Each structure stands twice: as C-alpha cells, then as structure tokens.
Structure 1
Amino acid sequence: MGVSTSVPEKGVAVVTVDSPPVNALTVRDWYDLATAVRTAGARSEVRCVVLTAAGRGFNAGVDIKEMQRTAGHEALIGANRGCFEAFAAVYECEVPVVAAVHGFCLGGGIGLVGNADAIVAAEDATFGLPELDRGALGAATHLARLVPQHLMRTLYYTSRTVTAAELHRHGSVWQVVPREQLTQAALELAREIAAKDGRLLRLAKAALNGIDPVDVRRSYRYEQGFTFEANLAGIADRHRDAFLSGSTATEEQR
C-alpha cells in the first residue's frame, strides 16, 4: 500500500497509488506521490510515466479525517503543501504523464489529472470538485484545463461531477474504455509516446509547459489562499465536520 513504482516495459514507468479504502491521501501520501513522479521522470531510460491507482477509485482528494483529528492547522498546511507538490510534480515531470483514471476522481484527483499530459479513463470514471461541500477552495485551475470556462464554474459552484464520456466530448480525455481494459489502453498510449526520441520528448514537455497561457503553480497557490481564509473564518471546520458526520452544514446568510 502507499505509492509504488514499476517499469513494466522499456521506456515506461508506472506510478500506482494504493491508499485504502478510497485513495484519500494523507499529507505523507501527497509528498510520496510527488517524489515518485519526479524520480520516475528523471530516470534517463524512462520516456513516459503512467499515473494510476488501485482500489475503488483513482483519487478522493485529501484525507479529511487526518485533518480533523490533528490539532491546530498543521495538517491543513501539510495537505495544501503536499497537494501543491504533487500537482507540480505531474506538471513538471521531465517526460509526458498519462493519467489512467477509474471510478471517482475528486478534489486533489482533479489537480493530478488536470496537470497530466494525457488522460485515459474507464467508462465508470467520474470527475468533480466537491470543494465547496468540504469547506475548501482549490483546483479550479486544473478543472479549467479539462472543461470550458462556464462549465468549470457551474461544476465548481454545484459540486457536480462529469463522466469520462463527457470529458471525451470536450477533448480532454483521450480515450474511454471498459474498466478491465484501462491498464492496457494507458500502456498502449504510453508505449506510443515512449517510442519517440527521449531527448526530444523532454524538450517537447518543457516547450509545451513554456507556452501554457496560465501559470498553474501560481494560479493554484492563489486559490489556496482562500482555503486558508475559509479556515481562519471557521467555515471550513464546520463543513468538514458535517461531511464526516454525514450531515449537511448550514451556510450562514450574509
């Protein structure tokens, strides 16, 4: 369990997250994931990294239980910094990253796939940001890389999810396949990418990042500031506690 790396074939490294029961990651998990992706991409023989997960879904975001059982703001700061590092590791990985997504991809999962170079998804995959329901803000930067601006805002405000098929229609998901074919499909795409010249791939990754219209690191960091504001105002704790208890927090009218 945790984060592991394998090299199933020449030129392709697979980073797998396995944090039962739902891949809601602790602070340490986020940092371990960042290290694994950066390390895999730095290996000279690796030309493509596949990011995948075991279990019921790809990613359920941060471990809210860890945050609520930790006194003070240490876990909140750790989770925010850990997410920042993991998202950046995917974006800055020296070689292309293919995200293989199944089941739920929520919260921090959007940060990972939004920063990936390509996404292959199972038919059962759903994507969304339930941040407002969890007393947080963030990863709109990455959702905006998956869907058009107005759809992003509607999804963000409502905490609704979209399916892999819908994202495929928007062009952000490369391929949608039956669940049992997900690993094979992701490896096939990674294999095609890895067949290219490794030095050129690294140059291409740097070049494409350099022409991005949005600085994803700065944009996400800006969003995180509002998460801290929600915590200082006491809003975040109320929503996180309600989520863990299965109830719904009542929003104060202003």
Structure 2
Amino acid sequence: MSTPNPNLAALLANDSDGWRATLADAVLHIRLANPPVNAINTAMWHWLHATLTAVDDDGAVRSIVITSDTARLFSAGIDFKELRKDDGASFGAPGDRRKLVRETLRLLYSVPVPVVVGVRGAAFGAGAVLPALADLVVGGPSTTFTAAEIDRGIVGGSRFFARLVGEPLMRKMMLLGCTVSGADLNRVGAFAEFVADEEIEAVALSLGERLAAKHPVVMRLMKRAHVEVENMGVIEGYSIEQKYSVIVPASVRDDLVPGPSK
C-alpha cells in the first residue's frame, strides 16, 4: 500500500479535537470523539472537510469507515451552542459556517472511495446525516435516527434522509421530528448489516477492509458513477455507467479476469 500524501499525513498526525483517525491497510478509520454527546463543532467540520479533500487525491486510502467512541450516543449533530451565535447574516459568504457544513457534506457524499458508517446508539440531525450520505451503513438494536429540526426552527435534511429511508419515512421523521428505531430502519433497508450493538464497529471495519481489497481504479470509477447517476433515469444512468466501463484500462480488466479484453 502507498503512503498518504503530505496533507493527509499531517491531518492524521494532528487529530482535531473531536475526531480520532487512523489509516491501516488502506482503510481510513475516523472516530467521533467529542464527549459527552459528540456534537460536531466548527473546528470538527473544518478538519473533516480538509481530510476528505486530501483523500480525493490520495491513493493510499481505498475506503473510509466512520464510527463513534461513545457507545450510547453516535452523535448529537450540529453544535447548537455555536448555532445560536450564528444569525445567518453571512449566509453563503466564504467564512459562513453553513457553507462549511454544506461543502463538507458534499465531499462526504462524493469522495471517490466508498464510505461505511457504523452507528451505535442515537444519531440526531447532522449526526444522522453522516450515515445518510454513506455508501454502506451498519446498525444495531440501539441505533436510532432523530430529525428534530422542525422543533428547532431549522429547515433542511430531507434529501439526505430520503436517500436512506425513502420518502414516506423521511417525511414522518422531518414533519413530526420523531425518532426512528433501528428495527424500523432495518425494515426499510437502511442498513447493509444489522448486528448486535457490540459488533457494529468490527463489522463496519470488516466491510471497509473488503471494499479496500477491490481494485482501486474500478472502485473509484464505480463510486463516481453511483454519485453521477443517482438522480437520473434508468437508461440515462446506465449510459453513464457504460461510459465509465470503457474508461477502465484493458490491463486492469485482464488482471481481474485473465484472458482477452472484450
């Protein structure tokens, strides 16, 4: 495996207060570590934004796994102590916290390697958006998602949750501000794996290792295609996937399936 680029290496060597990160066997394991409730503050958004940007050009990372150091609570979401200080006057400006959050979530969604999130315990608001933007989610009996923005005077998050739980359950979550249980999330297919709570992190890391073992060229092209076609029609999306298949070098296909390239 290659070594991380200097930007990523520096970020890993200097964890943000609130995150802990390690890179092993091409799996970047990022842990939420901001007790007591793992609220995500501005410094944490900056670190995650910088890390995902560095991963974009780093062949040393082949998958990302996000978990929490806290068993009872995955994340309380946005740090509302900071939010109360933001009057919205700088919306869209370069230093605007809202823009930082939005751009970080865009990077999490589109980063060119697969993302696995293991959710043990409760996830609120932006804390539930992290798994909603992942490629694979691991949950268990203690996992819950809550979208209480309506009770805090905030509008946003519907498209994130709809891609994970579907439109009807998303509307129930968003309009009622209610909590959805792990059993209900599993019932609608939100989880790639539904396991005992104490197994969530290990299973998430195992999935990350399996993903990292795939050919990196094909994986990055497939991830890019998934992002591009998500909101397209069936045939239109398939044409994009065919385009990316053509890009795969013949030597890569020969390595994967010995014999003449088709």
TM-score (norm 1): 0.77
Q: Which residue of 2 aligns with 1:11?
A: 26
Distance 1:75 1:179 in 2: 41
Q: Which runs of 5+ in 2 are unaligned?
A: 1-16, 233-262
Distance 2:109 2:169 in 1: 23
Q: Name the amino acid aligned to 1:97.
A: V
More relative contact order, 1 or 2 (CA 8 Å, 6+ apart): 1
Does the residue aligned with 1:162 lie in a helix, a strand or coil? strand
Distance 2:210 2:201 in 1: 14
2:167 is the counterpart of 1:152? no
Distance 1:108 1:6 in 2: 23
1:121 aligned to which of 107, 115, 139: 139
2:18 is the counterpart of 1:2? yes
Distance 1:162 1:204 in 2: 31
Distance 1:152 1:10 in 2: 36
CA deviation string 1:152-187 (max 9, x = no partner): 112211111112222222112111222221111001
Q: Tell me: CA distance 1:154–1:51, structure 2 relative to 1, closer, same or farther (3 Å).
A: same
Q: Which runs of 5+ in 1 are unaligned?
A: 215-254
1:135 aligned to which of 149, 153, 159: 153
Q: Tell me: CA distance 1:123–1:36, structure 2 relative to 1, closer, same or farther (3 Å).
A: farther
Distance 1:127 1:115 in 2: 14
Question: Which structure is larger by alpha-carbon Rg, 1 or 2?
Answer: 2
Distance 2:104 2:114 in 1: 15
Runs of 4+ in structure 1 deviating by more than 3 angstroms, as ranges, are 71-79
TM-score (norm 2): 0.75
CA deviation string 1:110-156 (max 9, x = no partner): 32211110101132110121000111011111110122212211221
2:75 is the counterpart of 1:59? yes
Does the residue aligned with 1:132 lie in a helix, a strand or coil? helix
Q: Which residue of 2 aligns with 1:246?
A: none
RMSD: 2.0
Q: Which residue of 2 aligns with 1:21?
A: 36
Distance 1:92 1:108 in 2: 17
